[in-house]
Each structure stands twice: as C-alpha cells, then as structure tokens.
C-alpha cells in the first residue's frame, strides 16, 4: 500500500469529501487568530498584524467560497491615536482581534484587540477597543489614551472574544497572558493562563460587575490554553479554546460545555488537531452563533510558524453538548 506523500493529495481528497471545511482560503497568505463577523450575508474576518497591516481584514459574500476570499487589507490605520506616539499601544503589535456589531445598542461595530503597551523594553499586551460607526470594513479607530482591560502584573490580557447571550447580556472573554511571565506553553512551566469573563453593558465598554475566571489550564489538564470562543446552542454553552504552543504542531482546538455561562465547564474534548484534514497546529477558532460558521488558522508548513498561518473556514455541527465537523 502506497502512503500519500504528495501534500496536495490528502487535502484535495478530504476537501472533496467534506464540504463543511475549506482550507487555506487566502491561498497561502499569513492570517493568524482570525475573528469572524457576519453582517447582511457577508462574512468578515480580521487577523493578527502581518505585512498586510496592523489588523488585516478579508471578506466574502459566500462563506463557503473554496476559491478564496478577498485579498487582506488593513482595517486599522497605524495612525489610530492609540498606536500613535504617546498612545497606549505600540504600533504593529496587534493580536487576535474580535469584531462584533452592537445590535443591542447603536448597531456600531466594536473591535476588541490586544496590543503591546507602549513603554521601554518588553511590555505585556493589553486589550483595547476600536470602533467604526457603520462600516465593518473599517477603518477602526481607538481614541483612548489608556487600554481597556490590563492585568499587567499578571502578564497582560490577549485573545478577546465578545459574546451576546440570548438573554441579551453582553460579555467579553479573554485570556490572562501568563506566558508573558514565563508560565504556560512555548518554553514556560505550568502556570497561570486563565480564561476570564467580563460582563459588559450594552455599549460594549462599561463594566457590568467584576470579571470572573471560567476555565484554566489546570482544569483542562494541559500546560496552557488561550483564544476563547463562546457559543450557546439549545441551552448549552460551548467554550472553545486553543491548547499548547501556537508555534508548533501540538497546538490544537478543544472545547468544554456548561449549562451556565460562568460554568462550571467540564468534559474537555478535542475538535481539531494536527493530522485532521491534513492540518498542522489548528487553533484560534472563532464561531458565529447563528450560522455556526467558524474560522481558524493552522500552520502553513509543519512545525514552522515562521512560514505563516493560513485561514481556514468550517461549518460546525452541534448536537446536545457535542460539537463536530462533518
Ligand atoms: C470573495 O472572494 C473573491 C475571490 O477572492 C473576491 O474577488 C470577492 O471580492 C470576495 N467578495 C467579497 C464580498 O469580499
Ligand atoms: C521556516 O519558514 C521560514 C519562512 O518561510 C523559512 O525561511 C525557513 O527555512 C523555514 N524553516 C524550515 C526548517 O523549513
């Protein structure tokens, strides 16, 4: 029996057999930590900084367009006050944006993102909020002189995930970046990588009580977790997250479920890992609750994050407390 050594073969076979997933829809462009937004039938995705801009954006009117999405363009000008000299954020350091439409408020678009705090030497990332009144293409601007959420002594905060519950309560989930302090994966030791949940008022900005920890690496039984994404379906809350070091093939996408948004979450299971659909290190998943459309990235080259991360799209199947890709 011959093994399939040509890299295009397994991908082509599996893509043909499974219309729910489309791989590398930007044809090899780097597009990491993709946030997904859908408005009026158009899908928008936003990524970590790359040579395409501070926060690159792509879109398509057909989510399942296997032929590719629009070429990424910047959605976040470098001259946004937050990333200008004197602003709170350092230009070119934005990670893992999440964009939502504040349908429960004024229908404007809110972009939550992480950037390194301006300062001398190595600084942690913290969360900022940029807005566009009516255009999901941007430009998004952040006029704040201070970050939005910033547990700096704990390593900072990254990977924001905005979520509107079906009782119309608004939240922002994020990760406390313990790895900045040498904890968690990518060479660190087991430590602090909790996923926090901050209740917000409808303006998407004003705190509505204190943030609470909802999940962490120890509970998951792994070295580190990040990139939370929330979904509620038939009364079940799904918390998706990435496990391991983003730079390697051991990075994967797991999830837990609960009947209350604050938990307790339990029963960790793997949704996507290296080898599935010919992928390397799949993570950074974001899901749109209504359509179950999701985006995630994976390493373009096995074990080599320097070669970039590709954008993949998938339609999730959810049944009870189980999520699958069919
Ligand atoms: C969808 O992708 C195609 C192919 O890249 C592109 O030409 C088109 O502009 C995209 N549509 C939208 C609405 O972005
Ligand atoms: C990893 O990718 C970079 C960028 O494409 C390339 O220069 C380097 O040679 C690659 N490393 C390996 C081991 O292939």
CATH code for position 318: 2.115.10.20
Nearest CA to ligand 1 atom 6: 70
Q: Which carries the bigger pLDDT value, residue 225 or residue 85?
A: 225
The C-alpha atoms of residue 310 and residue 197 are separated, in whole angstroms, by 28
Q: What Cα–Cα distance (Å) separates residue 223 from each residue in 65, 130, 197, 215, 293? A: 36, 32, 20, 13, 28
User: What is the DSSP secondary structure assignment for residue 179, as one 8-state letter?
Assistant: G
Locate the ligand 2 atom nearest the alpha carbon of residue 304 and give its number: 1
Q: Is residue 1 part of a domain?
A: no
Q: Is residue 132 part of a domain?
A: yes
Stretch 288-295: mean pLDDT:
96
Stretch 54-63: mean pLDDT:
94
The C-alpha atoms of residue 182 and residue 287 are separated, in whole angstroms, by 30
Q: How many domains does the chain have?
A: 1
Stretch 142-163: mean pLDDT:
96
Ligand 1 centroid to residue 68 C-alpha, Å: 7
Q: Is residue 270 part of a domain?
A: yes
Q: Is residue 105 part of a domain?
A: yes
Which amino acids are annotated catalytic?
33, 226
Locate the ligand 1 atom nearest the alpha carbon of residue 59 and give its number: 14
Q: Considering the chain, what is the average pLDDT of its residues?
A: 92
Ligand 2 touching residue 247 (CB < 6 A): no
Locate the ligand 1 atom nearest the alpha carbon of residue 71 and give its number: 5
Q: Which carries the bigger pLDDT value, residue 49 or residue 188?
A: 49
For residue 2, report the phi and psi dihedrals to the nearest 5 degrees: -80, 140
User: Taking CB atoms and a 6 Å cutoff, what residues make up the pocket around ligand 1?
Assistant: 42, 59-61, 65, 67-70
75 pLDDT more than 90: yes
Does the N-terminal peptide bond of residue 60 adopt cis geometry, omega within 30 degrees of 0?
A: no
pTM, two decimals, is 0.93
Does the N-terminal peptide bond of residue 51 adopt cis geometry, omega within 30 degrees of 0?
A: no
3-state secondary structure of 174: strand
Contacts with 178 (C-beta within 8 Å, 6 or more apart), sequence order = 154, 155, 184, 188, 191, 192, 193, 194, 224
Q: Is residue 11 part of a domain?
A: no
120 pLDDT more than 90: no
312 pLDDT more than 90: yes
> If pLDDT is split at 50, 70 and 90, which confidence band does 19 have?
low
H runs (alpha helix) in 161-242: 217-220
**Domain interval for residue 59:** 21-324
Q: Are 297 and 282 in contact (CB under 8 A)?
A: yes
Q: Which of 295, 323, 289, 326 is nearest to 63 (CA)?
A: 295
211 pLDDT more than 70: yes
Lowest mean pLDDT among 6-15, 29-38, 56-65: 6-15
User: What pLDDT score does 98 carry?
Assistant: 98
């Amino acid at each position: 029996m011959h093994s399939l050594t040509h890299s295009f073969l397994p991908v082509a076979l599996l893509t043909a057999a499974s219309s729910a997933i489309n791989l590398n829809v930007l044809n090899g462009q780097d597009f990491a930590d993709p946030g997904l937004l859908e408005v009026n039938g158009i899908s928008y995705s936003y990524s970590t900084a790359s040579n395409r801009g501070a926060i690159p954006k792509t879109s398509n009117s057909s989510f399942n367009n296997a032929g590719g999405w629009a070429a990424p363009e910047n959605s976040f000008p470098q001259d946004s006050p937050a990333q200008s000299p004197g602003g709170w954020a350092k230009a070119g350091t934005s990670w893992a944006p999440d964009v939502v439409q504040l349908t429960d408020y004024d229908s404007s678009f809110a972009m939550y993102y992480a950037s390194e705090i301006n300062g001398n030497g190595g600084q942690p990332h913290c969360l900022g909020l940029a807005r566009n009144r009516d255009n999901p293409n941007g430009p998004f601007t952040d006029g704040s002189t201070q970050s939005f959420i910033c547990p700096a002594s704990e390593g900072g905060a990254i990977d924001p995930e905005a979520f509107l519950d079906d009782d119309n309560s608004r939240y922002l989930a994020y990760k406390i970046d313990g790895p900045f302090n040498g904890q968690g994966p990518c060479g660190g030791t087991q430590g602090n990588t909790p996923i926090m949940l901050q209740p917000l008022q409808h303006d998407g900005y004003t705190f509505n009580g204190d943030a609470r920890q909802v999940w962490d690496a120890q509970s998951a039984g792994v070295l580190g977790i990040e990139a939370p994404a929330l979904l509620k379906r038939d009364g079940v809350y799904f918390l998706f997250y990435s496990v391991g070091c983003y730079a390697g093939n051991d990075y994967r996408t797991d999830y837990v479920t609960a009947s209350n948004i604050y938990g307790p979450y339990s029963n960790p299971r793997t949704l996507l890992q290296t080898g599935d659909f010919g992928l390397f290190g799949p993570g950074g998943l974001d899901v749109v609750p209504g359509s179950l459309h999701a985006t995630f990235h994976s390493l373009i080259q096995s074990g080599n994050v320097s070669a970039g991360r590709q954008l993949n799209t998938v339609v999730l199947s959810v049944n009870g407390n189980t999520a699958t890709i069919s």
